[in-house]
Amino acid sequence: MAILNKIRQKTVVLILVIALALFAFILSSLFDNKDALFNKSPNVVATINGKDISREAFMARVEAQNNPNATQTQIMNQVYNAEVREAVMQSQFDKLGLTVGREQMRDLLKTNLASSPQFFNADGIFDENVLNNYIANLKETSPVAYRQWINYENQVSSGALQQNYINMVKAATTATLAEGALSHKLEGDKVDIKYVYVPFTTIADSTVTVSKSEINAYIKENKTKYDVEASRNLQYVKFEEVASVEDENAIQGELIKLIQNREEYVDGKNQMVAGFAEMNVENAEAYVNANSDAEIKYQDKFVYKSSLPRALQDSISNLNVGNVYGPYKDGQTFKITKLLEKRQLADSIQSSHILIPFVGSQAATAETTKTKEEAKATADSIFKLVKNNKTKYAEVANEINTDGSKGKDGSIGWTRLTTYNPLGFDPDFANFLFFNDKGSIDVVLTKFGYHIIRIDDKKNVDTAYKVATIERKIEPSVKTEDDIFRNASNFEVALDGKDFLDVAKENNLKVNPVTSVKELDENIPGVGAERPIVRWAFEEDTKVGNTKRFETKDGYVIVQVTAKNEAGLMNVEDASVTALPEIRKQKKAKMIKDRVNATTLEDFAAAENQQVRTALAINMKNPTVSGVGLEPIVVGHAFGLNEGETSGLIAGTKGVFMVQPTKKTPAVELENYQSFANQVSSEKLNAVNTRLYNALKEAADIEDNRAKTVQ
């Protein structure tokens, strides 16, 4: 009881202790999640001018993209750039109260969809009522399709608003006559000069020392040039899964066994299996498909010599029919090739056809009613009528054909031998064309229906070859893959507590350095698109010196972080690439100026073993000195001097100069400068197209959280 009484007396203290404990727990959670502490929702991909882009909406737009040639990161970046553009521009529209009204949207849709047949009426003309019915039907029957339509309308609206905004800016963009006069003056004022030029290259770079402190000072003086994002420096060793010599020899050995007849254990007993050399033409497709890699199929076609592997054209074309060549290496495969047939075939064939489809054929339409038998009877009947009558042939073709040959007398035009391929061109049609003579005409059944085919012309007859090729990809064996995995693992283990470069050198492994990897980068030079590596390098727990193994599409890489570069000014090592040459120029200019005490061109030329040169008709619009190049500072000095007056020593872009104007010719005065004002106006209008959005984006308040939310 005494204890309980004491507890009751200390109730306030207990409540205070519990409250402090809860407060400490909450603070700990907040500091563990800094984004939450500073009100940064992990669900916000970016904030542009106060507008949040949610992760859900962003990823929905990403998933709606259909670009099989782009990586996921590339698609995300494309969508992000589009979202930023829309948000930046929308903030401008909102300020000005710009909107797309119903009438304008109707006109926009009419313009965009005017050539879409699904919105045509019975007369083949775009009909707004058809469009309205289409939209109403979507709304009633398919919420998903209706949302897609709304997204389409929003895209049309956004594009129209942007164009309206650009047009408004252009309408306010003009040039005054004074600007035209200035443009004329910059181009028309001319000066002839004499000059002496001492190139910076006359002083060897090795004689000019530049300290880190000087580079650091240069960086601070040129902050905008050296302001960079946060980045990481990496180095890695690559273990590629590539076939060994033993693997290649094994693949060749397997192909060699296929050539001759061989004994194999089949169905519980030894049996003789026909080799590739004994295989007949009829079995070519099955034999090749059974013995090649799964995705490689037999190609039933004739080709000319030029289509055979370049280095082996003579070897294969000179084979006797039935003979086999190989194994031979072709790119990343080994092959054996058998010559099946040789024929004299025309390179190009001109033909015509009359097509009678039947129900079930690929050319059948809703109006097709003939059965296969009825279509054959019709084709035979027409054949008798048109066989020897080209005029009648043309009349019938124009009347009944429904493909592109209608109205062209049934003409298909020229077909090249390279298109003779059953995978793309109907084989039955092709067989008739290529294996019959000019003038031949007959009824031919294809997957499209019954054709009455006529061969109108043939040209460029040459020897064509049909070959069967068994093909095996050059890939590492399981043993090789195991060895590569073991080597990568051994290297990773050996790194424990040791220097990355030393361990790599001990194992004769090449170390690949990578600098300035940004947080949203995807590609690692020499490795390819590997976002996991970039994400790991930027994780808070990843320290300089940490290593990790990553599996790539062609093996493994062991990666080490060698430096963390925070956002701000570039470090001295990275900046030195561009800073060093500029600092050297400054130092060389001072060295030349300090060692010369000359006031005339002749003295300066003599002191530096140079010549006095001339440059004529220089203007300020294109400040180029002949024999040197673009030198705006030097040209500016020349225009600032009187005729005959000699400048001091001038540090230019490529060296140190001394100049003397010999003749100054002012621009011819004009009565009216409107044409030049028009040129300036045109330049400004072009700049609107290329610079307007970038200027708005630069002025916008953009917070990019992709690295923390979606990457």
Percent of the chain surpassing pLDDT 90: 57
CA dist 571 and 675 (Å) reads 50
Q: Strand 655-665 vs strand 302-304: parallel, antiparallel, or unpaired? A: unpaired
Residues whose CB falls within 8 Å of the CB of residue 207, separated by 6 or more in sequence, listed in order = none
CA dihedral 602, 607, 611, 615 (to 10 degrees): -60
Distance between start and end Cα atoms, the chain: 62
> At residue 672, what is the residue type?
N
- The residues that bridge with 565 in the sheet, in sequence order, are 231
Burial class (CB in 10 A: 0-12, 13-18, 19+), 158: middle
The DSSP line for 579-596 is: HHHHHHHHHHHHHHHHH-
**What pLDDT shows up at residue 365?**
83
CA dist 195 and 602 (Å) reads 10
CA dihedral 138, 144, 149, 154 (to 10 degrees): 140
Between the CA of residue 538 and those of 479, 511, 705, what are the distances in Å? 35, 21, 14
pLDDT over 90 at 690, yes or no: no
Asked whether 433 and 453 are in contact (CB, 8 A), the reply is yes
pLDDT in tens, 169-187: 988 888 999 999 999 999 9
CATH architecture, domain 243-475: Roll (3.10)
Split at pLDDT 50, 70, 90, the class of 38 is very low
- Average pLDDT, whole number, for the chain? 88
For the CA atoms of the chain, what is the radius of gyration? 39
Please list the helix, strand and coil fractions of the chain in percent, rounded to the nearest 5, in that order: 45, 25, 30
The DSSP line for 457-498 is: EEEEEEEEEEEEEEEEE----HHHHHHHHHHHHHHHHHTTTS
Residue with tokens 């000359």: 598
Q: What is the 3-state secondary structure (H, E, C) of 144-208?
A: HHHHHHHHHHHHHHHHHHHHHHHHHHHHCCCCCHHHHHHHHHHHHCEEEEEEEEEEHHHCCHHHC
The DSSP line for 603-651 is: HHHHHTT---EEEEEE-SSS-EETTTEE-HHHHHHHHHSPTTPPP--EE
pLDDT in tens, 526-564: 999 899 999 999 999 999 999 999 999 999 999 999 999
**Assigned CATH class of 190-226+573-665:** alpha beta
Domain boundaries, the chain: 2-32, 190-226+573-665, 230-242+479-566, 243-475
**What pLDDT shows up at residue 416?**
77
pLDDT in tens, 507-524: 999 999 998 899 999 999
By residue count, the chain amounts to 711
What is the average pLDDT across 73-87? 89
Range name among 10-19, 225-234, 446-455, 566-575 with the lowest pLDDT average: 10-19
What is the average pLDDT across 128-156? 87
Between the CA of residue 248 and those of 473, 474, 620, what are the distances in Å? 10, 7, 67
What is the average pLDDT across 315-333? 94
Query: Which has more confidence, 13 or 527?
Result: 527
**What pLDDT shows up at residue 2?**
47
CA dist 581 and 578 (Å) reads 6
Chain Cα centroid distance, residue 622:
35
Q: Report helix, strand or coil for 708.
A: helix
Task: Supply the DSSP symbol for 440.
Answer: -
Q: What is the 3-state secondary structure (H, E, C) of 35-54?
A: HHHCCCCCCEEEEECCEEEE
Residue with tokens 């039935």: 322
CA angle 460, 466, 468 (to 5 degrees): 155
pLDDT in tens, 464-518: 899 999 999 999 999 999 999 999 999 999 999 899 999 999 999 999 999 889 9
CA dist 561 and 548 (Å) reads 9
**What pLDDT shows up at residue 674?**
95
**What pLDDT shows up at residue 35?**
47
Residues whose CB falls within 8 Å of the CB of residue 201, separated by 6 or more in sequence, listed in order = 655
Query: Which has more confidence, 603 or 417?
Result: 603
Smallest Cα–Cα separation from 57: which of 89, 79, 81? Answer: 79
What is the average pLDDT across 377-384? 94
Residues whose CB falls within 8 Å of the CB of residue 141, separated by 6 or more in sequence, listed in order = none
Percent of the chain surpassing pLDDT 70: 92
pLDDT over 50 at 453, yes or no: yes
Per CATH, 190-226+573-665 and 243-475 having the same topology is answered yes
Q: Report helix, strand or coil for 248.
A: helix
CA dist 469 and 336 (Å) reads 6
Neighbours of 473 (CB within 10 A): 14
**What pLDDT shows up at residue 428?**
87
Range name among 36-40, 87-91, 114-118 with the lowest pLDDT average: 36-40
Split at pLDDT 50, 70, 90, the class of 22 is low
pLDDT over 90 at 271, yes or no: no
The DSSP line for 99-156 is: ---HHHHHHHHHHHHTT-GGGB-TTSSB-HHHHHHHHHHHHHH-HHHHHHHHHHHHHH
pLDDT over 90 at 649, yes or no: yes
Cis peptide preceding 327, ω within 30 of 0 = yes
Alpha carbons within 13 angstroms on the beta-carbon side of residue 520 total 17
Task: Supply the DSSP symbol for 307.
Answer: G
CA dist 98 and 161 (Å) reads 7
Smallest Cα–Cα separation from 561: which of 540, 547, 572? Answer: 547
CATH architecture, domain 230-242+479-566: Roll (3.10)
CA dist 72 and 79 (Å) reads 11
What is the average pLDDT across 433-461? 93
What is the average pLDDT across 95-124? 85
Range name among 214-218, 225-229, 389-393 with the lowest pLDDT average: 225-229
Split at pLDDT 50, 70, 90, the class of 424 is very low
pLDDT in tens, 352-365: 999 999 999 988 88
